[in-house]
Amino acid sequence: MDIKYKSSNFATYLQYIAVPLVLFIFVYQLYVFITTGSGTEGMPAFFLPFWFWATIVVVVDLYKLRYIKVTESNILMKSLKGEEVLEYKDIEWINQNIFGSNWYILSIKYKDINIGKSKIIFVFPEMYSIRERITVFGELNITKYIREQIIKVNPLYKVEDEPSRWYLAKWVFLSLIPFVLISFIFFN
């Protein structure tokens, strides 16, 4: 089993620190608001909905996050539940999102044969060269490789059917709007 590409250890496992930290800050801010009726000096109650939104985003991210190892025949996924094998034939699409600074997020939608439903996972890929990081609009080698393997086992796969590279950024922005409105209506 020759591993061609894999997830970034640093970016993936950093999430296990970031999520509890964001949860702690949200719970602390909520506690202060409930006990005093206002926010802390450094963090007014106006930001409470934003922290709630950030908590939801990081929990969803952690739930969908997988550490992967890409081989020629399949993808090995590690999660908190254990290790699974993802066959290329089960992948519906792959998408490299434009998100963050030098931290790309791959989204992979696949059919989970155990439950018969589609699932989406997130992956923080490891960077293999400086050249891959030069442009935000360039595609990483891991994305190209996985797509090539999908096309080998599924010649009907169409790159045009993949979602926009901006879909995750759009989702994050659109999901933030209700929380901004709540902040302005209730805490301004």
Q: What is the pLDDT of residues 111-156, one digit of tens each?
A: 998 899 999 999 989 876 555 655 656 788 899 999 999 999 999 9
Quickly count: other Cβ atoms within 10 Å of residue 71's Cβ: 16
Identify the pLDDT of residue 94. 95
The answer to whether 155 and 86 are in contact (CB under 8 A) is no
List, for residues 36-82, the tens digit of each pLDDT value: 876 666 667 777 888 888 888 888 888 899 999 999 999 999 877 78
Identify the pLDDT of residue 170. 85
Greater confidence, 157 or 136?
157
Q: Do strands 67-71 and 3-6 pair parallel, antiparallel, or not at all (unpaired)? A: antiparallel
List, for residues 158-178, the tens digit of each pLDDT value: 999 999 888 878 888 899 899
Tell me, what DSSP letter sits at residue 127? P
Residue 86's SS3 state is: strand
> Mind giving me the DSSP string for 137-154?
TSPPHHHHHHHHHHHHH-
The whole-angstrom separation of Cα 73 and Cα 125 is 18
The answer to whether 95 and 82 are in contact (CB under 8 A) is no
Identify the pLDDT of residue 111. 95
Whether the pLDDT of residue 157 is over 90: the answer is yes
Identify the pLDDT of residue 147. 96
The residue count of the chain comes to 188
The whole-angstrom separation of Cα 66 and Cα 72 is 18
Q: Which domains does the chain show, CATH number per domain?
A: 3-186 (2.30.29.30)
Q: What is the pTM of this model?
A: 0.83
